[in-house]
Structure 1
Amino acid sequence: MKKIRDATGLSQTSFGQAFGVSKATQVNYETDKRSPDTNYLTALHAAGHDITYIVTGELQSDALSPAETSLVHMFRRVDPERQEVVLSTLRLMAPPMSQIGKEAPSSGSLHDDSPDYHAEQ
């Protein structure tokens, strides 16, 4: 639980409040003194957190990591113009899917064949 909360950047109080529990309850969840109830788990799932990871400690193959989930949540909180800035920055930083696992070309841009992604409005 702590890993998931840490990835969001929220305090125990804020994270607990966001999902309907007190700071003391959040602390108990993070220290394994108490197991989360179904209402808490349902709220986490609705927010996009991987319940399988929370319960078993194992990521589902198609699930987002805690850091990826945090990134998505932050992305959704900014206006569309800033979302496009984030996407543009990532396009510059990340190799296109066709280059993953391959040696980078010696000339030209890695991003010439990258698809044009647009933020969902």
Structure 2
Amino acid sequence: MILHDSKDIGARLRDERMRCGMTQDQAAAGCGIAKRTLANYEAGASDPSASFLSKAWAMGFDVPYVLTGARATAAKECLSAEEDVLVEQYRRIPEQDQRALRRFLKAMFDDASQ
């Protein structure tokens, strides 16, 4: 098992935040933590909590990459670049809007299959 230190985890966390197009303020607010706490995580001064990582995952962060340095590519390999962007956008909208999109897509699929 390869162990990674806090600075490695912090650097990858910063990479993921930037890949997701978020500022520290946005990521911290989305995960329910203070900006300073996120800055400490990214600097390697402290390790991110499980609660934070769970929320970051829901916002589209590749948490296995943050923790291990290995990208979670299996699912992404099946998606085109446009599909990947759509999935990331979908994950960032409120649950109510996600449900509405699922209903809309189901209706479109039902119409197309008739």
What's the TM-score bracket when you normalise by the shorter of the two chains?
0.5 to 0.7
* Change in CA separation of 1:43 and 1:75 when aligned onto 2, cut-off 3 Å: closer
Identity of aligned residues (%): 27
Aligned length: 80
Gaps of 5+ in 1: 80-118
CA distance in 1, matches of 2:90, 2:32: 23
Q: Deviations over 1:37-65 (max 9, x none)?
A: 01001112233432211101111231549
Q: Which has the higher helix share?
A: 2
How far has the Cα of 1:120 moved from its partner? Answer: 4.2
Q: Does 1:54 align with 2:66?
A: yes
How far has the Cα of 1:35 moved from its partner? Answer: 0.6
Counterpart code for 2:57: H
Pick 1 or 2: higher relative contact order, CA cutoff 8 A, min separation 6. 2
Given candidates 78, 86, 89, the residue that maps to 1:74 is 89
Q: What TM-score does the superposition give when structure 2 sets the normalisation length?
A: 0.55
CA distance in 1, matches of 2:32, 2:18: 17
Gaps of 5+ in 2: 1-12, 98-103, 107-114
Q: What is the match of residue 41 of structure 1?
A: 53
Q: What is the SS of the residue equivalent to 1:53? A: helix
Contact 1:19 1:44 in 2 (8 A): yes
Q: What is the match of residue 12 of structure 1?
A: 24
* Change in CA separation of 1:64 and 1:30 when aligned onto 2, cut-off 3 Å: farther
Q: What is the match of residue 3 of structure 1?
A: 15
